[in-house]
Amino acid sequence: MELLKRIIFLIAINIIIIWLWIYLLDPDPSMSIGILILIPIVFIINLAISGVSYLLKKKQISKLFLYNSIIASIIMFYLFGNGIDRHQNKRLENWEFKIADSSFSLIRWKETNNFEMNYSLNSGSSWSYIDGKCKLINNEWFFLMDSLEFKINNDHLINFRKDTIKIKKIKR
């Protein structure tokens, strides 16, 4: 029972330390390959602490950090993915909709208030369709490009191809 209490305490410490590390790192999707380095680092650090504890004849602590090497690696994987999602949510909003056999993606970049729309005929490929500026007026996003103007009201795209289309906001 004492080992279980220590493991739970160490899990809480892991979450705090790893979350703080990921928060400061603020990973974007291009850094996702870094998980192949970060998980082994966390695993090796915990194994090293376990080995040193074993050599110092502290077998209970050694066993604790041996278990923690696996637990902390899982926590790192989960929190790193959440860090990427957090980064993306700070930078963009994304909506998707379908018309006939085409899938559309509308992205609003929060820092610049620009937008881009892409479309795809099949999975794995997409083409840039239009881009321009957007602005918020009375809780509605207006998307402007040359003479083209459409808006989002709740979960509907209005005046796109002179039609109203139900859209889905993508939550990360």
Residue-wise DSSP of 94-126: EEEEEETTEEEEEEEETTTTEEEEEEESSTT--
3-state secondary structure 135-154: EEECCEEEEEECCEEEEEEC
- pLDDT, tens only, 10-30: 999 999 999 999 999 999 999
Q: Please compute the mean of the pLDDT values over residues 114-127 and round it to a whole number.
A: 84
The model's confidence at residue 121, banded by pLDDT at 50, 70 and 90, is confident
Query: Pairing relation of β-strands 92-99 and 168-169?
Result: antiparallel
- pLDDT, tens only, 66-81: 999 999 999 999 999 9
Q: Bigger pLDDT: 46 or 147?
A: 46
Same domain, 67 and 138: no
Last residue of a domain, one of 66, 90, 114: 90
**171 has a pLDDT exceeding 90:** no
Q: Bigger pLDDT: 163 or 1?
A: 163
Structural domain count of the chain:
2
Same domain, 36 and 55: yes
